[in-house]
Amino acid sequence: MRTLTLLLALVLLPGCIVFDKKSEAVSFHHFEAAAGAPTKAQPLIHLPRASLPASVRRPAVVLLTPGSQVLIDDAHRWTASLDRLVAETIARHLTREAGCPTAVETPDAPHLTLILECERFEVVGERQAALTIRYRLERADGSAVAGGTSACVEPMAKLDAPAFVAAQSRNLGKVGRAIAETVRALPASQFPSR
Q: What total of structural domains would you count in the chain?
A: 1
Query: What pLDDT sits at residue 5?
Result: 58
Q: Is 141 exposed, middle or buried (0-12, 13-18, 19+ CB in 10 A)?
A: exposed
Question: Considering the domain boundaries, does residue 149 fall inside one?
Answer: yes
d(CA 115, CA 103): 13
What is the residue-level pLDDT of the chain in tens, covering all 194 positions?
666 555 555 555 555 444 444 456 899 999 998 888 999 888 999 999 999 999 899 999 998 888 778 888 889 999 999 999 999 999 999 999 999 999 999 999 999 999 999 999 999 988 999 999 999 999 988 899 999 999 999 999 998 999 999 999 999 999 999 999 999 999 888 888 76
Give the residue from 190, 128, 189 showing the smallest Cα distance to 164: 128
d(CA 79, CA 27): 9
- Can you give the residue range of the structural domain that contains 148? 39-187
Is residue 103 within 8 A of residue 47, CB to CB? The reply is yes
Is residue 27 within 8 A of residue 93, CB to CB? The reply is no
Question: Considering the domain boundaries, does residue 150 fall inside one?
Answer: yes
Question: Considering the domain boundaries, does residue 127 fall inside one?
Answer: yes
Question: Considering the domain boundaries, does residue 1 fall inside one?
Answer: no
Question: Considering the domain boundaries, does residue 4 fall inside one?
Answer: no
Give the residue from 113, 90, 87 showing the smallest Cα distance to 33: 90
Question: 54: domain CATH number?
Answer: 3.40.50.10610
d(CA 125, CA 119): 17
φ, ψ at 182 (rounded to 5°): -65, -45
Query: What pLDDT sits at residue 22?
Result: 47
Query: What pLDDT sits at residue 65?
Result: 84
What predicted TM-score, i.e. pTM, was given to this entire model? Answer: 0.84
